[in-house]
Amino acid sequence: MPVDKAAGRIAAEMLTPCPPGVPAALPGERLTEDVPAYLHSGVAAGMVVPDAMDASLRSMRVVRAD
């Protein structure tokens, strides 16, 4: 799912930005608006999210949240 539409969905992957190396989202966690925005802006500034399926973080793996 595009990162700008991920808020409110359930994360389907662990997202650990480096630095700091602390998970910002865990599988099963509902994504608030802040998490995708933080990760997307961090990647744009040079942060790496090595465990993300899409390292560019243009998209995130989520499960449907109705």
Span 44-65, mean pLDDT? 90
| pLDDT surpasses 90 at 52 | yes
Strand partners, 2: 59
Non-local CB neighbours of 34 within 8 Å, separated by 6+ positions: none
Fold (CATH) for 1-66: Molybdopterin biosynthesis moea protein, domain 2 (3.90.105)
pLDDT surpassing 90 at residue 13 = yes
Question: Is the confidence at residue 66, as pLDDT, over 70?
Answer: no
Q: What is the pLDDT of residues 30-39, one digit of tens each?
A: 999 999 999 9
Residue 45 burial by Cβ neighbours in a 10 Å radius (0-12, 13-18, 19+): exposed
Q: What is the pLDDT of residue 55?
A: 87
Domain locations in the chain as residue ranges? 1-66
